[in-house]
Structures are given as C-alpha cells and as structure tokens.
Chain A
Amino acid sequence: MSDSSLDNLPKGWKSVPSDLGSDQTAFKGVQWGKAMMWIFLLSDTFIFSCFLISYMKGRASTVVDWPNTSHVFSLDFMGVPVPLLLIAIMTFVLITSSGTMALAVKYGYEKNRKMCGHLILATAIGGLIFVGMQAFEWSKLIHEGVRPWSNPFGAGQFGSYFFMITGFHGTHVSIGVIFLFIFARKVYRGDFDTGRRGFFTTMKSDYVSIEILGLYWHFVDLVWVFIFAFFYLW
C-alpha cells in the first residue's frame, strides 16, 4: 500500500490500515471491555433491527387496519386529548439522561469521584422515571383494552408488536438502571480510584468502565429514538 493512497483517506481513517496491519491489537489503546461493548452493541443492533423490520412487515400485511396511533397514544391533558404528550416527556427524560451520562464519563476520567457519582445517580433516576412512565403507559393501554393478542382499535398485531418491542427495550433500560446503581455505589466507594477488584472476575476496576456503561446507555437511548419514530410517528 503506497503512502499516497493513504493520504487520500479521510481524517481519522488514516491510521486504520496500519493499525489493522500491525501486531498485538487492531484497535490501538482501546481497552478490551470497551471493544467488547461495541461489538455487543452491534449484535444488539441486529436484534432491534429484526424487531423493527418484522414490525414493518407485520404492519404491512395485516388484514385489519392498523390503529390510529395519534389517537391511541394521546393523553388527556386538562380535558383535551394531546397526542404524543407522554411519549414526548419520556423521550425528553431519556435523552436528558444521556446527557448526564456523558458528563459522568467526563468527570470520571477527571477522577472527580463526587460529581461522577452524582451524575451516574441522576442518569439512573432518569432511567427509572422512564421505566415508570412506560409502566404507566402500559397500564393505561391495558385499561383501554389493548392486549398482546387483540385490541379494540384495529389490528391485533398492534398490541403484539407494541408490548414486545417496548418491553424488550424497557428490559434493556431496566438492566441499565440496575448497573447504573451498582456503578454509582462503586464510584462513591472509590473502587475506581483504588483499583479494587471485581466481585466475580477479580479484574481491577477502572474509570473506563463508566465509559463502557455509557456506551450501553447511549445505545439504549438511540434505539428508543428509532422505536419512537417507527411506532409513534408512523
């Protein structure tokens, strides 16, 4: 590979050929756990893509009309049905929690233990609020007669796909929240400053774990944006 062809590569890609051609590591300076999380998320992307593509196919081939989503997902506010109100708040909360997560990563690398812990806790609470609102939405829909197998508004597949996909995403958020709480405790205890060893793996703790957790959290948020677009706006 001649050098002139390398010069034409966009910035950031220039080192890719030499890194891949080198020994020991393909991603220079990337911690194993971080590379693992990226690959896991790529795999998880395929799961959510399969869900959403199945949903599109299912919605396209039902025999009964799909329910009017702006009607189904509206929330009565002061007696006026406002479409997408709850979802807008949920989305706002989740995206905000991504912001706090990013700040937590920054403070983590600055070894600012307190701020990092506070921000992880804030992220966890944001996630908790999101899951809570999702539970509220589910119970509202169930009260209105929406079931996984049928609903009064139209095609039965609406409930099936809705509960399955938001449920799968909600599980991701819940798992994230659990880990956020665990990591908040670890940060406050100072595990990442002292390099305390993990409970199961006996691996040394390091602030890079916060970034890895952050990757997962941002991914969950990003997936939500797609679910939001495909389910609520379509």
Chain B
Amino acid sequence: MSDEFEHKLEAKSDYAGDASSVSTPDIDAVPDAELPDQELYHSHSWWTTYVFSQDAKYIGIQYALTAIGTGLLGLVLSWLMRIQLAWPGLGWLEPSSYYQFVTMHGMIMVVYLLTALFLGGFGNLLIPLMCGARDMAFPYVNMLSYWAFVVAVVVLLASFFVPGGPTGAGWTLYPPQAITAGTPGYNGGIILMLISLILFVAGFTMGGLNYIITVLQLRARGMTLMRLPLTIWGIFTATVLAMFAFPALLVGCLMMTLDSLLGTSFFMPAMVSLGETLTHEGGSPILFQHLFWFFGHPEVYIVALPAFGIVSDLLSVHSRKTIFGYRMMVWAIVGIGALSFFVWAHHMYVSGMNPWFGFFFATTTLIIAVPTAIKVYNWILTLWRGNIVLSLPMLFSLGFIVTFLNGGLTGLFLGNVTVDVPLSDTYFVVAHFHMVMGIAPILVVFGAIYHWYPLVTGRMMNETLGKVHFWITFIGSYAIYFPMHYQGFVGVPRRYFEIYDSPYIDVSTLLLNKFITIAVLIVGAAQLLFLYNLFASARLGKKAEKNPWKANSLEWQTPQMPPEHGNWGKELPKVYRWPYDFSVPGAKEDYIPQTQPPSEIIGAKVEKT
C-alpha cells in the first residue's frame, strides 16, 4: 500500500546499518497532516461532562453500562425460565410469562446487550483511540445516539408494566401470531417492542455514521487502513453491516406496527381467531420473515465480527506474537460481512418457501465456513510457539476459540436443509446459537473488559476473582449447552414451557433439565462475582502502570492513562507501523509501539506494513 514509504525505509535502514546508527530525519518521514486539528466541544458543567457527554470515551462507558444493566435483566429472565423447565411441578411460571421471558431474554441479549456493547461501548471507546483521533467525527450526534438508545431501553422495559405485559411472540416476533389474540402482550407489549426497536435503529444509525466516518476519515498521520488493529476492522465492518441490515428491521417493525394499530394487512392473511373471522386479508407472513432475517442474519455477524477483531488483538498481545496472516484476517472479516447478506433464508428452511431457495441458501451458508475457518486457523497459528501468558484476556480468548469452533461446527449441521429440517425448533438449535453467538462473543466481551479496564479506570481488575469467574463461566457454559445438543437430537422441542411426561421424550432429558438449571444458576452467580470485580476494582484495584500489557496499539500510547479529553495532549500521534510488532528479532523490547519511529529501532527486523 504505502510502497514508496517502505522502499525509502528499507534503503535508509540499510544505509544506517553501514554508517552505524546515524539517524536521518528522512527515515521517520510521515505524510503531512491533511486536515487541521479537530475542534472539540469542551464541557462546562456536570451535566455536559457526565450525562450529556460529547466525549466518545464517556459515551462508550455509558453505552457499556446501560447495555450491561439491561443484560443483567436478560440473565435474570434466563434463571426464571430455567427454574420453570427443571421443576415444572412447582407451578413457578404461567405459560404466558414463560413466553414473555423467552422473548425479552432473546431480544435483550442480542440487540440491547451485545450489539450495544460491542458497537456502542467498545466502538466509542476504542475507535478514536485506536485510529489516533481526538474524538468521533460528530460528537454531538454521538451523544444523541446514546440517548436514543436509552429511550429505546426505557420503552422496552416499559412493556413489563403495560396491561398484558411484554410480548411473548419469541424474539423473532413472527406475525400473524405476534399481534393476534392468544399471544401474550399482543396489543400492548408488542407495540412497545416495535417502537423500541425503531428507536434503537434510529439511535444506532447516528452512532454508526460516526464510527464509519471516524475510521475512514480521521486516522492519524501514517495510519493506513492496513495498519489498523483488527479490533477496528471488526467493529468497522460490523457497523457497515448494521447500516445496511437495520433498515430491513425498521421497515418490518413499521409495517407490523401499522398492522396492529391501523388494521392494515401487510403480514396478516385471512384468519379465524377465537371463532371469529378477523378483518385482515391477503397479507404475507413470509414477507416479515424475509425482512426480519435479512436483518437477523447480518445481526449475527454484527455481534461476531467485533468479537473476531477483538480476540485477534488479545491473542496477539498476550502471546507476544505477530497476528498470523493479518491481511487474510482483514479480508476474511470483510468477506464474511459481505456473504452474510446472502444467507438469511437459512433461518426459514421450514417456513414453506420454495425448496430451490433452500438449496441456494444452504450453498451460500456453507461458503461462509471458508473465511471463518481461515480465521480460526490463523488464531491457532498466532498462538503457535508464542509466549502464551495465561492472563485473564488470554484465558477468555482461548475459551472463545474453543466455543466458537464448537458452535460453528453445529452450524454446518444446521446449514444443510436436509439435516436442519428434523433438527429445526429443537434444543439443538438453541444450543447452537447460544454457543456461537451467545457464549463465544460474551467470552470475548469479558476478555476485552479485563484487557481494557486499566485504560478506562487506571486500575487492574482482581486476577483471582477473574480466574474463578472464567473457570465457572467456561466450564459452566459447556455444562449448560452440551446436554442441550443431546436433548435436541432426541427431539425435545424448544419454546415449550413444560416438558411433561411424554412417551415420545426420553426421561433422561427431564433429568438433564435439572442438571442444566443448576449449572445456569451457578454460572449466573459467577457473573455477579464479575460485576463485583468490575465495580470494586475501580476503587480497590491495583494501580495500573502505563501500558500494562505492553501492547503496541495507539490506545495505550496516550500521554495520560486513562486518556484525557482530546486523547492526545497537544500533538496527535504519528504512526510508523502496524500494531503487531511483537518479539521482533533485534529489537530491545519484545514490543514496538506503533508510534515508535524507525530511527529508534534500527537493526530490528520489523515486518513491512
């Protein structure tokens, strides 16, 4: 890419080798600044500093805390559901509450926790810092984005308090049942859910424009796209996906809102409900499924791609190794992102669509396995002969690789139409997607929090508590989801609020249900340990030294840690290399920060980037 610069560098370092450490300013040449320094908004009051903050770092923390808070509710809902499944005799939940909890758990975890945390939280925190910018391109719009998200969450939670409660339609919200009598919350909760999603999309669009423009237009001098950390590539590509996938959700939500409130029939066929013929006629329920999954499948990668990116960086830093195949990693992220728009109907094999469609979508689905496999191999090869330190981020990253591989392999089963049809709507599907887009990204979230916590607070999180947290979470997740695969194979259907004594269902599954529930309760409790660690360490944690992990990327090279408003003090950083120069032969230290000029490391055999 920056060929000219590299040739210059090569020629100069050869020359310098002969004439013994004579540094000429030319080696350190970086292109001139194209733009004047960004003017920042300086807050004057407590309100504009901490509440309506226009500083991306604060917004990131706000996003993260709101998302984690909402996610905690999702966790509690999963407890309640599991207790019902394990001991149906207790009469713990009404069937309607069970469906409402399933729905809210799913929607909260996918959209309001993972999407908001990865893109809103880590995106805001890391994009300006890792790109070497002072802030996002549009700080004011960024602030609006967060507050739109807050309103969306409030509207979502308000649905618990309307008559009829939240919607119980399942997180996919399929019409006609979502808005037909018989489904919990069919005339109150569902409307709030749809409005909340519309608000979320609006808020996200404002944030997403910021992330994209910041990555494309606000990079530091010397920071080419191919020198960006993979974290940024993951978040950036996921944001692009979101910008093109959320419109389908928005349109679907809008149309269903009209169906429910105005009595239109976009998705509603002629139906008899409770003995009465409804006024709806001639709509297409399949249309909603297409709209939903055109959003829904890219959504999987909106969650997964930032996780891929972050885990690549964690693995590289904590094994002191160059990431293996950086360019392939980038192209795999971009390729997966592009392909994710052509696979949506693999969620609809049993919807009654044309079988040729299934054939096409099975093919595209299996093609996605190629770039994904490249990534997994590259992670493993990054670890190969690395100096693996079993720090918390590394533990969680290793956990991620195993879990993602596991969930990915079951994805190959479900991607094939013929295998999917008998497995569809069983616990096998539940186990698959919880492994691949629940546990795997959440493990990365934890790893990333342990990794970047010193950057935010200036203190380290407690290592012992973290290790307890990791082992309980990691082993516990397998205790939860491995049995579910088996349950799915023997045919236990999902979304049943009670698996009663049926001749078709083996009694072993009932026992397993109890086992799973106990595991869920323990794993959930371990998350409370994590939360304690998260909040207590801000006060009690050991003071972090600057750049505690000895990482290369720009966010650790700020003059202060935690970075101040404007991030970089007087002068913006200059970037001379990619962020993966670890254990370079000939270098004094085992890491070379991106900001270290070539003249300071003459003799080191750095990769040309």
CA distance A23 to B131 in the complex (A): 10
CA distance A64 to B252 in the complex (A): 23
Stretch from A31-39, A93-101, A106-114, A129-137 that touches the partner: A31-39
Kindly identify which residue among B213, B284, B294 contacts A32, using a CB–CB cutoff of 8 Å: B213
CA distance A85 to B212 in the complex (A): 43
Kindly identify which residue among A43, A156, A204 contacts B247, using a CB–CB cutoff of 8 Å: A43
Task: Tell me, yes or no, whether B34 is within 8 Å of chain A by CB.
Answer: yes
Quick check: B266 and A25 within 8 Å, CB to CB? no
Kindly identify which residue among B219, B251, B263 contacts A50, using a CB–CB cutoff of 8 Å: B251
Residues of B within 8 A of A44 (CB): 247
Kindly identify which residue among B205, B209, B264, B284 contacts A61, using a CB–CB cutoff of 8 Å: B284
Q: How far is the CB of A15 from chain B (nearest CB, A)?
A: 14
CA distance A58 to B252 in the complex (A): 13
Task: Tell me, yes or no, whether B25 is within 8 Å of chain A by CB.
Answer: no
Kindly identify which residue among B209, B224, B282, B294 contacts A39, using a CB–CB cutoff of 8 Å: B209
- Chain B minimum-CB-distance residue to A40: B209
Quick check: B1 and A21 within 8 Å, CB to CB? yes
Quick check: B243 and A24 within 8 Å, CB to CB? no
CA distance A27 to B279 in the complex (A): 53
CA distance A44 to B248 in the complex (A): 10
Stretch from A119-127, A195-203, A221-229 that touches the partner: A195-203
Task: Tell me, yes or no, whether B217 is within 8 Å of chain A by CB.
Answer: yes
CA distance A44 to B251 in the complex (A): 11
Quick check: B138 and A32 within 8 Å, CB to CB? yes
Question: Given known contacts A24-B34, A63-B270, is B205 in contact with A43 (CB within 8 Å)?
Answer: yes
Quick check: B225 and A21 within 8 Å, CB to CB? yes
Quick check: A54 and B287 within 8 Å, CB to CB? yes
- Chain A minimum-CB-distance residue to B2: A21
CA distance A9 to B137 in the complex (A): 31
Question: Given known contacts A24-B34, A46-B244, A50-B247, is B222 in contact with A202 (CB within 8 Å)?
Answer: no
Quick check: A26 and B282 within 8 Å, CB to CB? no
Stretch from B9-17, B254-262, B302-310, B407-415 that touches the partner: B254-262
- Chain A minimum-CB-distance residue to B31: A23
Which positions 134-156 of chain A face chain B at CB distance < 8 Å?
A: 148-149, 155-156
Residues of A within 8 A of B226 (CB): 21
Q: How far is the CB of A203 from chain B (nearest CB, A)?
A: 7
CA distance A200 to B139 in the complex (A): 11
Task: Tell me, yes or no, whether B291 is within 8 Å of chain A by CB.
Answer: yes
Number of interface residues of B (CB under 8 A): 57
Which positions 149-191 of chain A face chain B at CB distance < 8 Å?
A: 149, 155-157, 159-161, 164, 168
Quick check: B283 and A24 within 8 Å, CB to CB? no
Kindly identify which residue among B209, B252, B264 contacts A149, using a CB–CB cutoff of 8 Å: B264
CA distance A20 to B263 in the complex (A): 50
Residues of A within 8 A of B440 (CB): none
Which positions 258-278 of chain B face chain A at CB distance < 8 Å?
A: 258, 262-266, 270
Kindly identify which residue among A26, A28, A149 contacts B263, using a CB–CB cutoff of 8 Å: A149
CA distance A201 to B135 in the complex (A): 14
Quick check: A160 and B213 within 8 Å, CB to CB? no
Quick check: A39 and B250 within 8 Å, CB to CB? no
Kindly identify which residue among A23, A159, A204 contacts B575, using a CB–CB cutoff of 8 Å: A23
Kindly identify which residue among A26, A61, A164 contacts B225, using a CB–CB cutoff of 8 Å: A26
Quick check: A57 and B287 within 8 Å, CB to CB? yes
| Residues in chain B within 8 A of chain A (CB atoms) | 1-2, 30-31, 33-35, 39, 41, 137-140, 205, 208-209, 212-213, 216-227, 243-244, 246-248, 250-252, 254-255, 258, 262-266, 270, 279, 281-284, 287, 290-291, 294, 575
Please name 28 pairs of A and B residues whose Cβ atoms are closer than 8 Å in the assembled complex, sorted by A.
A20-B1, A22-B2, A22-B31, A22-B224, A24-B33, A24-B223, A27-B216, A27-B217, A36-B137, A36-B213, A42-B244, A43-B208, A43-B247, A44-B247, A46-B247, A50-B248, A50-B291, A51-B251, A54-B255, A54-B291, A57-B290, A58-B266, A61-B282, A63-B281, A63-B282, A156-B281, A160-B264, A201-B138
| Residues in chain A within 8 A of chain B (CB atoms) | 20-28, 30, 32-33, 35-36, 39-40, 42-44, 46-47, 49-51, 54, 57-58, 61-64, 148-149, 155-157, 159-161, 164, 168, 200-204
Question: Top 4 closest A-B pairs, CB basis?
Answer: A21-B1, A46-B247, A160-B264, A50-B251
In the complex, given contacts A23-B220, A54-B287, what are 20 additional A-B residue pairs having Cβ atoms less than 8 angstroms apart? A20-B1, A21-B1, A23-B30, A23-B31, A27-B216, A32-B213, A35-B213, A35-B217, A36-B138, A36-B209, A40-B205, A44-B247, A47-B247, A49-B247, A50-B251, A50-B294, A63-B282, A148-B264, A149-B263, A149-B264
